[in-house]
Amino acid sequence: MDAIIAQVSRTLAQAVLLVAAGPLVTGIVQKGKARLQCRAGASVWQPYRDLLKLLRKGTVQSDTASPFFRAVPVLVLAATVTAAALVPVLWTPGGGDLPFGDAILLVALLALARFLLAVGALDAGGAFGGMGASREMTVGLLVEPALMLSVFSVAVTGGTTELGLLAARREALALSWTAPDLLALFAMLILTLAETGRIPVDNPDTHLELTMLHEGMLLEHSGPGLACIVLATHVKQLVILSLVAALFLPLGLAQGWGAAGLGLALGAFALKVLALSGFLVLVESSYAKLRFFRVPQFLGLGFVCAFLALALRVL
Amino acid sequence: MTSHLLWITPLVPFAAALLMLLVRSRRALAAMDVAISLAVLALTVAIARQVQVHGAVSALGVFRADGLAVVFLLLVGLLSVAVSVATVGWMRHEVGRGQMREDRLHWYFALVHAFVATMLVTVLSDNLGILWIAMEGTTITSALLVGFHGDKHGLEAAWKYIIVTTIGISFGLFGTVLIYGAAAHAQGGVLTGAMNWSSISAIAHRLDPGIIRIGFIFVIVGYGTKAGLAPVHMWLPDAHSQAPTPVSALLSGALIKCALFAIIRFHSIALQACGPEFSSGLLLAFGLVSVVVATPFIIVQHDLKRLLGYHSVEHVGIIALGLGFGGPLGTYGALLHVVNHGVTKALVFLVAGDGIGRYGTRDMRRMKGFLGLAPIAGTLLLMGAFSLAGTPPFSIFVSELIVVRAGIAGGRFVPVAIFLAMVVIIFAGLIHHVGQMAFGSAGEGAERGREALTPLLAMFLLAAVMVLLGLWIPVRLDEVLSAATGVAGG
Amino acid sequence: MRRVAVWVGHLSIGVAAVLVAIFALGFLTGSAPAAHLDLPRLFPFAAMSLSVDGLSAFFLLVISLVTAAAAMYAPSYLGAHAHAPGVQTLALAAFVVCMALVCCAGDLVTFLLAWECMTLSSWVLVVSDTRNEENARAGLLYMVVAHAGTAALLVSFLVLAERGGGLDFPALRAAAAGLDPSTRTAVFLLALAGFGAKAGVVPLHVWLPKAHPAAPSHASALMSGVMLKVALYGIFRFAFDLLAVPGGPLPASWGWTVLLLGTASAVIGVLLALQQHDLKRLLAFHSVENVGIILIGAGVAMLLGGGRGPAALATLALAAALLHTLNHAAFKGLLFLGAGSVLARTGVRNMEELGGLARRMPWTAWLFFLGAVAISALPPLNGFVSEWMTFQALILGATRLGASGLLAGVAASMLALTGGLAAACFAKAFGVTFLGRPRTAHAEHATESPAPMIAGMLLLAVACVALGLLPGWAMRLLDRPTAELLGGAGASAAVTARGPMILAAGDATAGVGATAISVTAVAALFALLAALAWALRGWPRRAPRRLAPTWTCGMTPSARFDYTGTGFAKPLRLIFAALYRPRREILKETGPSPYVIRRLSYQGEVVDLAETVLYARVKHWIASAAHEIRSYSTGRIHGYIAFVLVTLVVCLLLFARA
Amino acid sequence: MSVELATRLIDILGGLLLFTMLLILAAGQLFRAIYAVAAQAVFLGIAGAVLAAATGNVDLWIIAGITIVAKAVLLPWLLMVVVNRVHISREIESVMPASLTLILAAGIVVLAFHLNASLGPVRQAITGNALPVGVTLILIGVLVMASRRKALVQMVGLFASENGIFFTAMAVSQGMPLIIEIGVILDVVLGALVMGILVLRVRSSVDTDIADLEDLRG
């Protein structure tokens, strides 16, 4: 019984770690973009300040909203943080009696968060909420099959979709990269852009009603509710980056619980996240936003790459 | 074993017919009509019990009732009772609407009973000549009944009916002559009762196959015309649609079956004489053609009674298919289908008659909202339509199941496939037409009168038999059918 | 007086359903042998009997679950909305009894009789509103497709019966053992066509979205939730039981056919569902999708069964299919009852005329939301569990199937696409119907449904949550069917090896590779974190809450601003234009100058390809052939006589010679 | 009367019957067709007499007598009554071109005799060529009904084909039993009566020939 308590406490600790690190990664990405555009940009800790400000402010709610509207921020944050608990960051979460860390469950939790957000947006009853929800769901359903295919192409080698076991097995292979891995990584990177709402698919910084996807849904939320959702967005971004890291760069996962092992794992994780956020910064600064009905072709490219990865792996 | 019931049974309705000529009041005629029909049914049940106890009974050297005859006897008895009960209410309605003239009622009832009498003689006759004469009698009486309304269409239908069926029956007579010649030749010219079916079927295996083959072809084309087998069926929709409703019910329910009875008689002879493939093959061919030819006419039909006429062609085709598939299973299924179709078709004709009376038109496109107008009759119409189309809780599905099983047992997959395809298309057509009639809301022209009691009584009787046979074949009926299969299967 | 009769009728149906459920549960968990009951000899040529084994008991459980809920729901629904409630009660009773009989039929004749009576009684329910001609046409198409299916079934059954001599299932089983492969495949394909027509598999699904919405909502719930499952029972009975190759795997072609049909049904079903505005039509299309998902599970089970793949995986796949059958019955029933309560209170089925019902009908809204989350296969609820098991079966199976594993992979990605599409569809359905401003007076004055209707929905909601949180116990129910159909250990051994809380797919010991999740633990974590987040939001102090109109660029917001269902689904209409072939016409009434628009009317339409290409063409061809033939029959008597003469001469020429 | 003589006589009478059949086929006037049918009935009666003498079967004498009375006298009289009452044009219009009907008639004769040749020893049961002649008469009778427009001509064709049946029936070894023959003739007469009534009723009510009515179709 105590093993389970230890495992649950470890999982909670990891969730807290990711929640804390989430806004930091966004701050780093914003800082990186600013630097590339030769301007100073806000400090790396700015997202934390925004969150605290929001938490302290009062709530302005639409008069037509139903109880769903108030419940949505809480549920979205909970779903995203639960997903954070499943991703192998410093150690393999599924080690103990209770198996955590299944990829399909993780993707499904993120889908749940997206579904709740869309429903919340429709509740407020404006045009922008509906448009944002419709576009977000459309992008979401185009991403999911490609995401599944790339996860399968990796899972086929390990014979399981549990990220912990997969990471452990791939670590044994020690960086022996084959063509399917490269194709799958490329597909995952394209999908990461779509999932985190970055430039080619959606512009996170804009507030122009007609162009924003993800932002459109947050329009009506305010105060602590908005804080929960923004925090959830940051955590989601970090979860996806760590998912990519776990699937393709499984180095440095701590085996035991010794301080040295954890420190090494933390360092390796930080490096991986920095590399990926660097990729995000590069893409955001060099591309323009695609017209919405060109996004399916863009995601189609991702789907074809994932399909080829699986084909090469299986045939 | 001689039984005097055999010649009394046809005599009773014939005498009643003559008596009715003298009676004038409608109420008395209707009462006599029902009484006589009940008497006929009682007599047929008595004969059935006698046959079950003693096997085949004969009388006067000319009449004979064996297992096969009993099935058709019971059907004719049951239908004549149902029709006469329905006629009471129907006639009052028709006279009220001026369709039937009061002074010619006695002719109508007399002709109906003469028609029933001739059908009984057909089924009871052992002598093939008497069978032909009775068949010609049914043609004459029913031709007058078809043309009874005296309007242009009625007379045209009567004319086509009498000409085409008389040609058909004359072919039947020539076939009988040929078979009689072959029988006389086989017996070396000795004339002892050579015309009787029982004696011919006794020596059937010794008959010369060549002449039996030609004779059987004349018989199947001849009596097939009378039965409505395609492609010689064209008179049937005209006659059945123009005749008064009770007469159509009798025509479709009973008369077609008597023609099939004659074909079965000759089929059993031909089976022994020239082997099973010849006559079964012919029957199969005619059956399949009937089902295929009836399909397009059912789909694009607008006239309700013509639709039911073509449906009779299809079901005669199914019976012929059953006989064609042969073997005890096929014949059992065909005979069961004879009873099932007789009952169901009579019910649907009575309900259709009631509907046409209410709407004053026969065009199905203008008969909307029948369920709203007459809920009981509407439900019965739907039940009847589903039964005709072959859906399970009703009787026709059971007999079609047996026929298809016989078909598959005989390894004839192509005919079965064609048959099932046509049945499904006909199902779609029939339910489409009846659905259009039953649902929607009735126009203002429709008559919302109370539903007369006696027609409903008759319809409930027939519907009860239909549903009963759909779920449960009583042991007694099973014995009768098995005996008949023994006789017909040869 | 009639109301009392309706209540008593439905009460008796409900009680009977509960009794059957208890019997089924007892049978599934116990180890009693297959119960056999000989019926009285109705027909001389066939001995009719009933026999209940694991598979039929499981399907009885499915039937009784939804029937109990529908029985609670129906009386108050019929009160407000009834045409001839007496007839409907009888038809509902007959419908449920026939479905139960089909599942426990022991021989061919009982099966066919019960099968068609089920169709007929559900037809009565579909056309119960006799004045509406649209229902009559829907009922007609339903009956015709069902009848064609039965004809196919009839032939496949009788071909088996001929070889086996008897009409009961043991004789059929014996006959099937001796069948040569080509006949066996022919019989299976015929049976698949027959059952597929009834289950709504893609090419034959056209009747389903027309017939199900026409019936009263509790009947639609039963038809969608349960009747499709009875058709799937037929497929399971044929594929795994009657036509099973003794001791060998089923032919691979069968598995692939079922898998591809399932994938096609899933994707096309949900794509078409997305474009519907009628709430009940949308749910009916979703039935097509979920039948597809069940068939994917069944297809994988057929591929891996009988020794071709590892037994544990085959059992997993079959357990996934059966569990999804139960799950779909639960949440589809819940959704249809929810849609019914909306229809009962507002009298409107079209989403575009509803909106803002969440505040007026809180209970129905929350229960419909729960159903929506379940059907979109999102984690805490039962939809996710069975879809997760199907995923695992596909992926782990793919490794075993060698090269053709790629096809399984693609099927898995299509399944994911279906999940995504379902989530989008139900976000639209729930959002547009329940949230935002009420668009018409109907929605404005809606009030909450009476208690029995809510109770009916609550029963199914509890079932969804229970199956979602504690799937381990559900595995015990699947033990007997999976053991009987695939041999080997039952479902619980294969899936809940590591205790009831954990779902383990495949077993690591046999080197098959294994994935395990503990849905209960994740749900607990989710609840804990939700509580934490709720505390976080309310933590500093009770933040003041002010109500203000929604931001619509400064204009006073009205219901016209709300996003419509059509708008929501527009991006997908463009992306999948090839399948939809969308057609629209926009009428503009401009004022003095072309830029002043006085009135704008939009009329858009999405075409169901199967319907236009397949059905319309066949119908047209038959009708024109019929008109062509009919034109030959002139009324002239000379034609009649000529036909008699020609027939005689032809027969003499053909048949007369020896 | 020896059997060979009877067979030769029957062959001659068969030829005469065929000739009268061709007369009906070629008749342009209604009266000619009716007289041809009457002649045919007379030859039928003579054939009955010949067979009665050959086989010594007394019934055949009675049948021959009834045939001549009923078919040669009664039916033509009935037809003449209807024709006078109906006062339509006496012409016989044809539905098919005349040459086609003659070719078909020839084809039918060939078919009949070919069938007869394919039969085995059973031919002795029917004296002489009664079988092929009977088949020919029937089929050409029906051909006449199918090709001529007027109802009355159709009745003539019907009686001609029934004569064919009688010719074969009488020629079968000792002939059909008496009551059957009488019954058949009675039925034919009754049928003719009913047809006459129908023609007259249509003529009085609608004033077109009954055979031209063609509203019931499809």
pLDDT (tens digit, 9 = 90+) per residue, A188-199? 999 999 988 888
Q: Are B339 and B271 in contact (CB under 8 A)?
A: no
Nearest to C633 among D142, D211, D217 (CB): D217
Give the amino acid at D196: G
For the record, the structure tokens of B383 come out as 């039940």
Residue from C368, C435, C469, C519 to probe the interface with A (highest A Cβ count within 10 Å): C435
Residues C300 and C396 in one domain: yes
Q: Does D185 touch chain B (CB under 8 A)?
A: no
Q: Does C24 touch chain B (CB under 8 A)?
A: no
For the record, the structure tokens of C222 come out as 């039963």
Nearest to C151 among B424, B438, B472 (CB): B424
Residue from A4, A54, A59, A64 to probe the interface with C (highest C Cβ count within 10 Å): A64
**What pLDDT is recorded for position A293?**
84
**Domain tally, chain A:** 1
Q: What are the chain C neighbours of B332 within 8 Å (beta carbons)?
A: 45
Q: Does C15 touch chain A (CB under 8 A)?
A: no
What is the band of C506 on the pLDDT scale with cuts at 50, 70, 90? low
* N- to C-terminal Cα separation, chain B: 22
Statement: residue B426 has pLDDT above 60: yes
Residues C138 and C272 in one domain: no
In a domain, C107, yes or no: yes
CA distance C4 to C100: 26
CB contact under 8 A, C635 and D147: no
Q: Smallest CA–CA separation between C601 and chain A, in Å?
A: 19
Nearest to C645 among D95, D139, D214 (CB): D139
Residue after which a domain boundary falls, among C523, C555, C589: C523
**What pLDDT is recorded for position C524?**
87
Nearest to D194 among B129, B144, B156 (CB): B144
Per-residue b/e over A122-161, b at no fewer than 16 CB within 10 Å? bbbbbbbbbbbbbbbbbbbbbbbbbbbbbbbbbbbbbbbb
Residue from C519, C529, C553, C576 to probe the interface with A (highest A Cβ count within 10 Å): C529
Q: Per-residue pLDDT tens for B41-56? A: 999 999 999 888 888 8
CA distance B191 to B200: 12
CA distance A265 to A267: 5
Mean pLDDT, rounded, of chain A: 85
Statement: residue D174 has pLDDT above 70: no
Q: Does B297 touch chain D (CB under 8 A)?
A: yes
CB contact under 8 A, C648 and D139: yes
Q: Smallest CA–CA separation between D196 and chain B, in Å?
A: 10
Q: Smallest CA–CA separation between C631 and chain D, in Å?
A: 7
Q: Does D147 touch chain B (CB under 8 A)?
A: no
In a domain, C369, yes or no: yes
Rounded to two decimals, the ipTM of the complex is: 0.85
Statement: residue C511 has pLDDT above 60: no
Residues C293 and C438 in one domain: yes
CB contact under 8 A, C436 and A114: no
CA distance C195 to C183: 18
Least confident range from B329-338, C200-209, C643-652, D85-94: namely D85-94
CA distance A248 to B243: 86
Statement: residue B78 has pLDDT above 90: yes
Query: Is there contact between A and C if contact means ≥3 C-beta pairs under 8 Å?
Result: yes
Nearest to A74 among C396, C426, C533 (CB): C533
CA distance C110 to C167: 10
Residue in chain A lying closest to C534 (CA): A74
In a domain, C241, yes or no: yes
Residue from A19, A52, A70, A119 to probe the interface with C (highest C Cβ count within 10 Å): A119
Q: Does D176 touch chain B (CB under 8 A)?
A: yes
**What pLDDT is recorded for position C26?**
86
Residue in chain C lying closest to B413 (CA): C155
Q: Are B43 and B12 in contact (CB under 8 A)?
A: yes
Residue after which a domain boundary falls, among C187, C216, C246: C246
Residue after which a domain boundary falls, among C523, C554, C575: C523
Q: Are B324 and B60 in contact (CB under 8 A)?
A: no
**What pLDDT is recorded for position C82?**
66
CB contact under 8 A, D198 and B147: yes
**What pLDDT is recorded for position C509?**
54
Residue C166 phi, psi dihedral angles, 5° rounding: -105, 175
Statement: residue C31 has pLDDT above 90: no
- As a whole-number percent, the residues of chain C with pLDDT over 70 amount to 97
Residues C310 and C207 in one domain: no
**Domain tally, chain C:** 3
Q: Does D86 touch chain C (CB under 8 A)?
A: no
Task: Mark which residues 423-462 of C lie under 8 Å from A by CB.
Answer: 423-424, 426-428, 430-432, 434-437
CB contact under 8 A, A104 and C544: no
**What pLDDT is recorded for position B106?**
87
For the record, the structure tokens of B409 come out as 């047992």
CB contact under 8 A, C127 and B439: yes
Touching partners of A (3+ C-beta pairs < 8 Å): C
Task: Mark which residues 190-209 of B lie under 8 Å from D by CB.
Answer: 191, 195, 208
Statement: residue C608 has pLDDT above 80: no
Statement: residue A130 has pLDDT above 80: yes
What is the band of C311 on the pLDDT scale with cuts at 50, 70, 90? confident
Q: For B34-97, give the DSSP string.
A: HHHHHHHHHHHHHHHHHHHHHSSEEETTTEEE-HHHHHHHHHHHHHHHHHHHHHHHHHHHHHHH
* Residues β-bridged to residue D29: D91
Q: Smallest CA–CA separation between D208 and chain C, in Å?
A: 14
Query: Is there contact between A and D if contact means ≥3 C-beta pairs under 8 Å?
Result: no
In a domain, C562, yes or no: no
Residue C527: half-sphere exposure toward Cβ, Cα within 13 Å: 7
Residue from B166, B212, B217, B426 to probe the interface with C (highest C Cβ count within 10 Å): B217
In a domain, C576, yes or no: no
Domain assignments of chain D as residue spans, ordered by start: 3-212
What is the band of B206 on the pLDDT scale with cuts at 50, 70, 90? confident
**What pLDDT is recorded for position C510?**
53
Q: Per-residue pLDDT tens for A4-14? A: 788 788 888 88
Q: What are the chain B neighbours of C640 within 8 Å (beta carbons)?
A: 160, 163-164, 232, 234-235
Q: Per-residue pLDDT tens for A214-254? A: 888 888 888 888 889 999 999 999 999 999 888 888 776 76
Q: Which domain holds residue C471?
A: 266-327+338-523
Residues C138 and C286 in one domain: no
CA distance C119 to D73: 66
Touching partners of C (3+ C-beta pairs < 8 Å): A, B, D
Query: Is there contact between D and C if contact means ≥3 C-beta pairs under 8 Å?
Result: yes
* Cβ–Cβ pairs < 8 A, chains A and C: 296
Residue A88 contacts by C-beta under 8 Å, 6 or more apart in sequence? A101, A163, A164, A167, A242, A246, A250, A253
In a domain, C463, yes or no: yes
Q: Are B76 and B90 in contact (CB under 8 A)?
A: no
Nearest to C638 among D108, D146, D215 (CB): D146
**What pLDDT is recorded for position B189?**
61
Q: Which domain holds residue A230?
A: 2-314
Statement: residue A118 has pLDDT above 80: yes
